[in-house]
A = this chain, B = another copy of it.
Amino acid sequence: MNRFLLALALVLFSVAGFTQRTAFSPKEDSLFIRKIADEILVNGKAYAQLTVLTKTIGARLSGSLAYCRAEIWGQQALRDAGAGKIYLQPCMVPHWVRGGVDSATLTTLENGNQLKMRSLNILSLGNSLGTGPSGIHAQVMMVRSFEELRKRSAEAKGKIVFYNYPFDARPVETFNVYRDAVRYRVQGAAEAARYGAIAMLMRSVTNASDNNPHTGMMIYNDSFPKIPASALGLRDADLLAGTLEGSGRPAQMSVYIRTLAQMLPDTIAHNVIGEIRGSLYPDQVITVGGHLDSWDPAEGAQDDGAGCVQSIEVLRVLNALGYKPRHSIRVVLFANEENGLRGAKKYADEIKAKNEKVLFALESDAGGFTPRCFSFTLRPDRLARLRPWIRLLQPYGIYEFTGNGGGADVAPLADQGATVGELVPDSQRYFDYHHSRSDILENVSKRELELGAVNMAALIYLVDKYGF
């Protein structure tokens, strides 16, 4: 070969190397995805694995014994699924403990001098300090919003500020409502403390028909005192609001709150990771995961036991069908999503430190509900190129791809430039259970959970085969 031809060949080869794409073969893909679905719907292990995680381990807050047991469970589940390499990735996590049973009492002195006491259903917010064993007893100042608090800030001193901010029923996508209302949970205590309040109560971030309070992470502002913060069940929030506002307004009313939460020193936890090595591009990684930790009132079945077992099922089904992925497929059960995101940060840091290429990272952390959509961090033009895939997934429930980004655990990867995405299941029931005592296995549908896994596995297969 003369030098010209050699040079030409090299140019052609390298161009081919960059632009070569596997030809789209929807018929073959449709058949393989049907196999994925049959295997998961008939022989699926996700529900059985979730049963173990929820019923023998249960709630698994960062730093707890149960979280440690969940790490062992995760390794075993990944082994059962056929992961070739299983390892732990250590990281330091916040260690918040509830410390006991939260309680609150509403005391009213009716006009006829009749003293009435009613217990209120509360849960301390996560990361909040407790009142301590003697509790806090004070008058309540109800506000509808931060704006109202600011306007009436002179009244807050020495009081319990009660945010009665409603969960808007109108938007169909409940996560949009959550993102708005959750500000009161995250910043509410700090804002109340700014004006001298001594405790914070809030209407739970939910529209559930029951009275279960919903916990979740809050953040203090170091410039102000760290006051105890708790969420009220909706019926009790309405009771409290009605007592404050109603026509039978009592001569005096006060609330007693007793919570025992503490923030202990950071402790160790691990991301639990299992992978199948890629046959062509072992150094390019497709990540799929959910978070292994949960809040403490229930079993973390939907949040996010579902995402964990679905992610493990993706690996299991590809393995069971003898599929040899071109890229390495790595299941990550993230530590500490709920009150710190330390696992996600650790994972992204390690990716960066090892200079690994992440082809795609898919998260499932919106519940094991019936699948409807995948969301990506892709610009519209690149997203449009994926449209032919939707027809392949539509028989299994997915009918839409959006560019609305990924979830919290893959966000640090997106910040590093990786393409990330998340499963978007139907969102109607999620906030009924989220962070409350009703997040239990009984509120997970086996079929809905499995169909989520079917679509996740199908998407991973398509990404592995075609890239973006």
Report B-chain residues with C-beta under 8 Å of the C-beta of A396: 172
Pair A42/B447 contact, Cβ less than 8 Å: no
Q: Does A370 contact B (CB under 8 A)?
A: yes
> Given the known A-B contacts A426-B426, A447-B428, A447-B429, are A395 and B172 also in contact in the complex, defined by CB atoms under 8 Å?
yes
> In whole angstroms, how far apart are the Cα atoms of A320 and B206 in the complex?
26
Q: Does A32 contact B (CB under 8 A)?
A: no
Q: Does A187 contact B (CB under 8 A)?
A: no
Pair A426/B370 contact, Cβ less than 8 Å: yes
Pair B400/A172 contact, Cβ less than 8 Å: no
A417-454 contacts to B, CB under 8 A, are 426, 428-429, 432, 445-448, 451
Min CB distance A176 to B, Å, is 12
Q: Does A90 contact B (CB under 8 A)?
A: no
User: Which residue of B37, B170, B209, B426 contacts A172 across the interface (Cβ within 8 Å)?
Assistant: B37
Residue of A172, A174, A429 most packed against chain B (CB within 10 A): A172
Report B-chain residues with C-beta under 8 Å of the C-beta of A47: 209
Residue of A395, A396, A447 most packed against chain B (CB within 10 A): A447
Indicate how many identical chains form the complex: 2
| A425 closest partner in B (C-beta) | B370
Contact with B along A31-53 (1 / 0, CB 8 A): 00000011001100001000000
Report B-chain residues with C-beta under 8 Å of the C-beta of A399: 399-400
Q: Does A169 contact B (CB under 8 A)?
A: yes
> Given the known A-B contacts A169-B41, A209-B47, are A429 and B400 also in contact in the complex, defined by CB atoms under 8 Å?
no
User: Which residue of B209, B370, B395 contacts A428 across the interface (Cβ within 8 Å)?
Assistant: B370
Q: Does A397 contact B (CB under 8 A)?
A: yes
Min CB distance A278 to B, Å, is 30
Q: Does A207 contact B (CB under 8 A)?
A: yes
Residue of A38, A174, A370, A432 most packed against chain B (CB within 10 A): A370
Pair B428/A170 contact, Cβ less than 8 Å: no
> In whole angstroms, how far apart are the Cα atoms of A447 and B172 in the complex?
9
Q: Which 6 A-B pairs have the closest CB atoms?
A: A428-B447, A41-B169, A370-B426, A428-B448, A429-B445, A42-B169
Given contacts A428-B448, A432-B447, 4 further A-B contacts (CB under 8 A): A207-B447, A399-B400, A429-B445, A432-B445
